[in-house]
Structure 1
Amino acid sequence: MPTVPVSSVARTRTVSAVGLSLTLAMSMALAGCAYEYEYDDASAFGTASASAPAFSDAAVPRDPSTRWPVSGAELDAWLAQVLPATEAQVFHTGYGTLAADEEREETTSNLPAGSYAITLACRSPRRVLFSVSHGDTELVDLHLYCGASRVNVVYLPADALLTIRVEANAGANFAYRVGRV
């Protein structure tokens, strides 16, 4: 019968015992974590403070009236929100209101060579098409879901002219800005 050295058996049992002890300790620690955290946003009891954010349920849709086009002072306020002031050099800004199935096209002045950020935004119950091109090259072709601004970065050669086309299937406000990066 072969003999096994005693030190080898003791070492195997020690390693197994240490591994089992660590596994049990980690299991107990993780099991305790499940009961450690409690979240109380106070919204269920109607005791939310004035500084707490309003309760928002993902199943409740956004207020559709926030997507309808506006005019006058409301349009100016919306423009300040979607195209906030910037310290970057701005070469061209455009905004306005489109009726259903209306299209508007504008051209920038000659732009020096460099990288530009083209910021696009809209306010409408439907998507708005933005198309930005330089000559025959289409740089941006975007059906933008209104409610968020979109920034596209492009590199332009010297004396580039951008053509910006905006098209809406429903009434819409649009805004865009071309500025240096």
Structure 2
Amino acid sequence: MGGALAGSVTSRRLASAAVVLLFGLGGTLTGCEYTYDDRGTPQATPTAPAGSNVVLPPDPSLQQTVTGDALEEWAKSALPESQGRSFYSSTGYLSPGESKTEQTVQLPGGTYAVTLACRGTRRVTFTVRMGESDLVDLTLGCTNARVSVVQLDKDAILDITVGARSDANFAYRVSRL
């Protein structure tokens, strides 16, 4: 009896999870609408659900630059906690046309996640270099974040350059995977 009860509970949990997943995907479900030709033959016409064309505007507050504690709070939320050890991170403000280059601490050889984020009205360029080699060369639309994985064959110091054409905040973190 105990095995049947456990199987029943497991089945209900899986069914509940499937329902939650199905409703969580909401916008990906489509339906069919039937129309009839002159002869009365039904013809399926795919239709989108009522809310599928909804476009949410970006959070307007992320288009404004911040300083001080607000900058630190934004960086914490924009750069999710890494699984590995964080070796270097930085945040800051860029004036229009400004770029900054910073160097990480000496990183031991291995695999690293470089998480990059920005806020402002435009885009920010991020370049991560090791010596003469570009490891990451990315123009990121603000209000977004991106994680790039880099492999260092030996100990190295990375140069990270951040630039913007308009006011922007940036944040990045280098973590060992």
Q: Same fold (TM over 0.5)?
A: yes
Q: Deviations over 1:75-133 (max 9, x none)?
A: 12111101133341111101111111111000112111111000000001011010000
> What is the 5 A alignment of 1:27-66?
57-58=54-55, 61-66=57-62
Structure 2 runs not aligned, ≥5 long: 1-32, 35-43
SS of the residue 1:75 aligns to: helix
Question: RMSD over aligned Cα, in angstroms?
Answer: 2.8
Output the amino acid matched with 1:178: V
d(CA) in 1 for partners of 2:91, 2:133: 23
Partner residue of 2:117? Answer: 121
Partner residue of 1:73? Answer: 69
Structure whose CA Rg is larger: 1
Deviation of 1:174 after TM superposition, in Å, equals 0.2
Partner residue of 2:27? Answer: none
Q: Deviations over 1:42-83 (max 9, x none)?
A: xxxxxxxxxxxxxx932x643544212111222121111011
Could you tell me which of 101, 104, 113 is aligned with 1:105? 101
SS of the residue 2:80 aligns to: coil
d(CA) in 2 for partners of 1:62, 1:179: 28
Q: Which runs of 4+ in 1 moved over 2 A?
A: 60-66, 84-87
Could you tell me which of 155, 169, 173 is aligned with 2:169? 173
Q: Which has the higher strand share?
A: 2
Output the amino acid matched with 1:71: T
Query: What number of residue pairs does the alignment pair up?
Result: 137
Structure 1 runs not aligned, ≥5 long: 1-29, 42-55
The answer to whether the Cα contact below 8 Å between 1:90 and 1:177 also exists between their aligned partners in 2 is: yes
1:84 and 2:68 are equivalent in the alignment: no
Partner residue of 2:13? Answer: none
- Give TM-score scaled by structure 2 length: 0.68
d(CA) in 2 for partners of 1:172, 1:166: 10
